Amino acid sequence: MAQIRVLPDRVANQIAAGEVIERPVAVVKELLENSLDAGATRVEIEFSKGGRSLIRIEDNGSGMQPDEALLAIERHATSKVREAADLLNITTFGFRGEALPSIASVSRFQLKTRPPLSQSGTELLINGGKLIHVRECGMPQGTRVEVAHLFNAVPARRKFLKTDNTEAAHIIHLAKVYAIAHPRTGFSLMENGRMVFDSPSCPSLKERVREIFGPVAVEDLMAVDAKDGDYRLRGLISRPGKGRSSRHDMITIVNRRPVTSSTLNQALIESYHSFLPRGRYPQAFLFLELDPKTVDVNVHPSKREVRFREAARLRGFVIRSLLQSIRPAAAPEVAGSRGTAAAAFPEAGDEGKAARLPPPSAPEKGGRGGGEPDPASYRRDARDPTPAGAAPDPDWKVKWRFLGHAQKGLAIFDSPSGIVLLDRRAAHQRILFEQLEKQYRDSNVPAQQLLIPVPFELDALGSAALLENLDFLNANGFEIAEFGRNFFRLEATPVWTSPEEGETLINDLVGLMKAGTFRKNKPLQAFTQLARLACQRSVRLDDSVSEKEVIELANRLMRCNNPLLSPLGRPTYIELGRNELDRRFYRNLAPSGNLW
Ligand code: ADP
Ligand code: MG
């Protein structure tokens, strides 16, 4: 039998590193969390080559005495948990005391640290788990960790890393998420010597989101703020209809710890079920606060996933809270221009009377101080809860109020968040494109037989190209038959085109085929070309379109998978948000923001 041995620390650390430090972003996460646990009000992150060649994190937190620094790199050395019972009440990020030794065992690890009131700092250098030196150094208050040559000595792990770009994307996302979770803490992030973002301490979540995701993102968000017993849910979520194409923009933070939780994600998606087109997801920055005893963060090696003790109750609370914000924002449907503003934007309890627009977004604050994220700024643009009767409508409708037509094919609406200019042609094209897409997917493209088939002739090249793609066209609403060398007969066309246009259409298609952009071995690409052509040709704008039709057009557009762009990539509508309008009307006059 083999002998049983206790592993040397260095080997144990490298094994633990396999679990805790699976890739560069995990190093960033652990170091970042240590900085936040140390009470830092400013954290600088820098990395290069996807984190492989360098990760540097510097904070102005509590720092460590020389003996504490030496202890910190020992396995299971932590200042945060003393006994198992503490695990039930964790308020810090770290608690296992394995991050630093694990990282140091698979990299060249330099730690410099100085606590307040100390004259000098301490520098530790460790290479692949081996302590190289400990010495005094100059250092501002705080801690700086530099991790170089990550996984160099662990080829097995290095092999599993993705490209530098992918690893970098993970690091950038993580840094953004932590910056969102801690608006008061100043954060900066540099990649390969280039600043990705640099956000000072922010007075509110909204301000932080604006700093990191830009003003446009903020305009598409609205506030949530709800409380029930020991649960509190705050944050910013998508306005109805303003979803994203991926579910990666749902950021959930539990007791200040960014987490992934299927309970929270499902509650989010479900709440938006009737308020976003199919295939679109809400954007969310959700802060849940609850008794730390009712959430287990110790279920995942990197503590990313959490488990809730009363998942069902929590789920109910989250859905109710979200709907409280979503419903009133969505409830008003497109109203006719004869309607009053109140009809377009009813307020709870006093429909008819309250001819009031929704309150403007939170005014810009003067300076940026420290201080708590301002709860009032969460609440400021929350709408009143809707009356109990207003159930979500399965046929989603925009709540734009039609104002009139302008220019060439523009329809103008008043929306709760600003002014909307809808390009009717682009909207029609998007709707048609998605209709064709569906027919194509269902292999059911309706065709119309021509009363008199149209004969046509092509040159040799065109003829060869058409023959090559004949099956594809015939499966997509055309009926084309070959009758003799370079001679064809068009017998049916798809219903989206008019029979008289059939021949020009074929010529356009043959042009694309010759240019090589239309290939039957790439059917989806071929279909897209065909559908774009269809959209370009078949949309005729009618000048005498009624208000009802324009509103129906807007509704149909917003039910599309991608309502924002025409199939040719042009915007279907432009929304001048209230902030944008405010900026133009007021802020130009008052650049300092404190004229009033
Ligand atoms: P854990 O965070 O689970 O306690 P770590 O290995 O991450 O374990 O860190 C070990 C200890 O080192 C921490 O408990 C803390 O006392 C100290 N430490 C780590 N990073 C910092 C830092 N940036 N500033 C101050 N102290 C730190
Ligand atoms: Mg830690």
Q: What pLDDT digit, counting tens, does each position of 343-375 carry? A: 222 222 222 222 222 232 333 333 333 333 333
| CB distance 35 to ligand 1 below 6 Å | yes
Domain hosting residue 526, numbered range = 361-596
| CB distance 17 to ligand 1 below 6 Å | no
* Cβ atoms 422, 452 nearer than 8 A: no
Whether residue 303 is found in the same domain as residue 193: no
User: Residue 101 sits in a domain of what CATH number?
Assistant: 3.30.565.10
| CB distance 169 to ligand 1 below 6 Å | no
What is the pTM for the complete model shown? Answer: 0.59
Domain count, the chain: 3
Give the number of C-alpha atoms closer than 13 A to the C-alpha of residue 212, restricted to the C-beta side.
27
Whether residue 333 is found in the same domain as residue 370: no
Whether residue 138 is found in the same domain as residue 239: no
For range 80-102, the mean pLDDT: 71
At 99, which amino acid appears? A
Instruction: Kindly state the percentage of the chain with pLDDT values over 90.
Output: 39
* Cβ atoms 345, 399 nearer than 8 A: yes
**Ligand 1 geometric centre to CA of 92 (Å):** 10
Residue nearest to atom 23 of ligand 1 (CA): 35
Q: Is 353 a member of any domain?
A: no
Whether residue 17 is found in the same domain as residue 164: yes
| CB distance 25 to ligand 1 below 6 Å | no
d(CA 272, CA 319): 9
What confidence score (pLDDT) does residue 17 get?
Answer: 67
What confidence score (pLDDT) does residue 339 get?
Answer: 30
Whether residue 451 is found in the same domain as residue 326: no
| CB distance 80 to ligand 1 below 6 Å | yes
Helix 424-441 vs helix 523-538: angle between axes, to the nearest 10 degrees? 140
Report the phi/psi class of residue 352: left, alpha or beta, with left for phi > 0 and alpha for psi in -120 to 50: left
Q: Is 349 a member of any domain?
A: no
For range 549-563, the mean pLDDT: 88
d(CA 452, CA 150): 73
Q: Is 347 a member of any domain?
A: no
Give the atom of ligand 1 at the shortest distance from the alpha carbon of 97: 8
For range 190-212, the mean pLDDT: 92
Whether residue 63 is found in the same domain as residue 104: yes
Greater pLDDT, 593 or 83: 83
d(CA 222, CA 182): 19
Closest CA to 457 of 466, 470, 448: 466
What confidence score (pLDDT) does residue 186 get?
Answer: 96
| 517-530 residues labelled b (16+ CB within 10 A) or e (exposed) | ebbbeeeeebbbbb
Residue nearest to atom 16 of ligand 1 (CA): 79
Q: Which two tokens stand for residue 406?
A: 């302008």
Whether residue 475 is found in the same domain as residue 368: yes
Give the atom of ligand 1 at the shortest distance from the alpha carbon of 101: 6
* Cβ atoms 468, 513 nearer than 8 A: yes
Whether residue 199 is found in the same domain as residue 255: no
Q: How far is CA 317 from CA 15, 22, 478, in A?
A: 41, 35, 54
Q: Please report where in the chains the tokens 């910013």 appear, as a residue.
A: 236
User: Residue 554 sits in a domain of what CATH number?
Assistant: 3.30.1370.100
Q: How many residues does the chain have?
A: 596
Greater pLDDT, 77 or 316: 316
| CB distance 220 to ligand 1 below 6 Å | no
Q: Which two tokens stand for residue 353?
A: 């009377």
| Angle, vertex CA 406, rays to CA 404 and CA 411, nearest 5 | 55
Give the single-character DSSP code of 100. Answer: H
Instruction: Kindly compute the dihedral angle of the four CA atoms of residues 345, 348, 353, 356, in this order, to the nearest 10 degrees.
Output: -40
What confidence score (pLDDT) does residue 529 get?
Answer: 82
